[in-house]
Amino acid sequence: MASIPTIETERLLLRPHTIDDFPAYQTLWSDEAVVRHISGIPSTREQTWARLMRAAGMWHHMGFGFLAIEEKSTGQMIGEAGFHEVRRDMSPSIEGTLEVGWLLSPESQGRGYAMEALQALIGWAGANFPGKPMTCIISPENLASLRLAGKLGFAEFARADYHGDVILLSRSGTPPA
pLDDT of residue 39: 82
Helices (H), 13-70: 22-29, 32-35, 45-62
- Those residues with Cβ within 8 angstroms of residue 120's Cβ, 6 or more apart along the chain or in another chain: 7, 9, 12, 14
Does pLDDT of 176 surpass 70?
no
Q: Is pTM beyond 0.95 here?
A: no
Answer yes or no: is pLDDT of 1 > 80: no
Q: What is the pLDDT of residues 3-52, one digit of tens each?
A: 899 999 999 999 999 999 999 999 999 999 999 888 888 999 999 999 99
Closest CA to 76 of 115, 111, 107: 107
pLDDT at residue 129 is higher than 90: yes
For position 177, what pLDDT does the model report? 46
